[in-house]
C-alpha cells in the first residue's frame, strides 16, 4: 500500500529548537567521553489510547474489532523494537459521528480533541477515521502547555490498519508515530540544508508516494553526488509500506533523535490531563 502522510511540515521554530536539543545532547556525550555515534539503547513504555470514529456499526462504516487494534499494537512494537519503544493498549473508545467519520480529520478538530484526548503528554492518542482512507497525520512534539496537549495526537485512516478489510500491513501508523516522536521525513529539504537533521539518513528528493519497491541494487539516487541512495526501507520515507524494513526501518541516528526528543519534550512533562 502506498504512503499518504498528511502531517504538516515542521515549522522553522521547531527545526531550530531541535538543532539546539541535538547540539546540547552531543555536548553532554562528549563530556562523558562518548563517541557521538555511540549511545545506550533504552526501554521506553508508551500507553496508547485508541478512538475509533465510525458512521455506523458495520465494518464498511469504520467499525473495527479489538483484533484489528491489537494487531496494530503488535505492528508498532515490531517496528519500534530496535529503538526500544514498547506500546501497550490503555483504552479504546468508539464514537459514532458520520460527519467526523467521513471527513479527513479537520472539521471540528478542537471540539473533537476535547472529547477524545486521554492521558498525559507521554500518552499516545490514535484517532482512527474512515475519511483518511490509507493516510494519516501526527503532531510533532513541542513545549508543553494546555493547547499542545489538546492537539497532541495521531490520526490514521481506517483502511491503513491491519485486519480492516484491506491489505494494509499497519506500517503507515509506524511512520506517523515516528513524527509524534520527533522524526521528520527523510526527504525533508531535498538535497539541501540540514535535511531531516539526522546524519545517517541519505538525502533524497520527494517524488510523491511510490507504490512499488525497486529491486535490490536498483534503488533510486535522487541526490547524485551525495552519500547513499534513497532510503527505500526507511519508515520515514514515502515508499510503499511493503518496502519498509521491520528490523532496520529506523537508523541509529533516528533512534538517537527519538530519545533526545522524548527526553526534552515528553519524559518530564507535567502529569496534566484534559479528561
Residues 142-193 have pLDDT tens digits of 999 998 999 899 999 999 999 888 888 999 999 999 999 999 999 998 998 7
Strand ranges in 41-188 using DSSP code E only, listed in sequence order: 44-54, 85-96, 124-129, 136-138, 154-157
Residues 91-141 have pLDDT tens digits of 999 999 888 888 776 545 667 777 889 999 999 999 999 988 878 999 999
Distances (CA, A) of 177 to 1, 23, 138: 18, 24, 7
pLDDT, mean of residues 58-71: 90
- List residues with catalytic annotation: 176
Q: Cell triple for residue 105?
A: 480529520
d(CA 261, CA 10): 14
Sheet of 136-138: strands edge to edge? 85-96, 44-54, 124-129, 154-157, 136-138
d(CA 151, CA 138): 10
pLDDT cut 90: percent of the chain above it: 59
Residue keyed to cell 519500534: 80
**pLDDT computed for residue 107 by the predictor:** 46
**pLDDT computed for residue 19 by the predictor:** 92
Least confident of 126-130, 213-217, 226-230, 259-263: 213-217
What pTM was computed for the model? 0.94
**pLDDT computed for residue 215 by the predictor:** 86
What is the SS3 assignment for 126? Answer: strand
pLDDT over 90 (residue 249) = yes
pLDDT over 60 (residue 273) = yes
pLDDT over 60 (residue 3) = no
Residues 120-132 have pLDDT tens digits of 999 999 999 998 8
Amino acid at each position: 500500500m502506498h504512503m499518504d502522510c498528511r502531517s504538516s511540515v515542521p515549522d522553522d521554530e521547531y527545526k531550530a529548537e531541535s538543532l539546539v536539543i541535538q547540539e546540547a545532547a552531543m555536548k553532554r556525550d562528549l563530556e562523558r567521553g562518548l563517541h557521538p555515534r555511540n549511545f545506550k539503547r533504552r526501554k521506553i513504555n508508551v500507553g496508547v489510547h485508541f478512538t475509533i470514529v465510525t458512521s455506523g456499526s458495520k465494518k464498511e462504516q469504520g467499525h473495527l474489532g479489538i483484533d484489528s487494534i491489537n494487531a496494530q499494537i503488535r505492528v508498532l512494537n515490531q517496528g519500534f523494537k530496535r529503538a526500544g519503544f514498547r506500546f501497550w493498549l490503555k483504552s479504546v473508545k468508539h464514537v459514532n459521528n458520520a460527519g467526523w467519520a467521513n471527513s479527513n480529520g479537520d472539521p471540528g478538530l478542537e471540539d473533537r480533541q476535547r472529547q477524545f484526548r486521554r492521558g498525559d503528554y507521554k500518552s499516545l492518542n490514535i484517532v482512527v477515521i474512515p475519511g483518511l482512507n490509507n493516510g494519516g497525520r501526527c503532531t510533532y512534539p513541542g513545549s508543553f502547555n494546555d493547547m499542545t496537549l489538546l492537539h497532541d495526537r495521531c490520526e490514521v485512516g481506517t483502511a491503513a490498519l491491519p485486519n480492516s478489510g484491506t491489505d494494509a500491513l499497519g506500517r503507515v501508523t509506524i511512520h506517523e508515530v515516528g513524527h509524534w516522536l520527533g522524526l521528520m521525513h527523510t526527504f525533508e529539504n531535498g538535497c539541501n540544508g540540514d535535511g531531516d537533521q539526522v546524519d545517517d539518513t541519505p538525502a533524497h528528493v520527494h517524488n510523491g508516494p511510490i507504490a512499488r519497491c525497486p529491486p535490490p541494487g536498483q534503488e533510486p539516487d535522487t541526490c547524485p553526488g551525495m552519500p547513499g541512495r534513497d532510503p527505500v526501507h526507511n519508515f520515514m520515507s514515502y515508499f510503499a509500506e511493503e518496502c519498509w524494513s521491520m528490523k532496520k526501518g529506523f537508523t541509529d541516528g533516528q533512534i538517537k533523535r527519538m530519545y533526545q526528543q522524548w527526553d526534552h519534550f515528553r519524559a518530564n512533562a507535567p502529569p496534566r490531563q484534559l479528561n
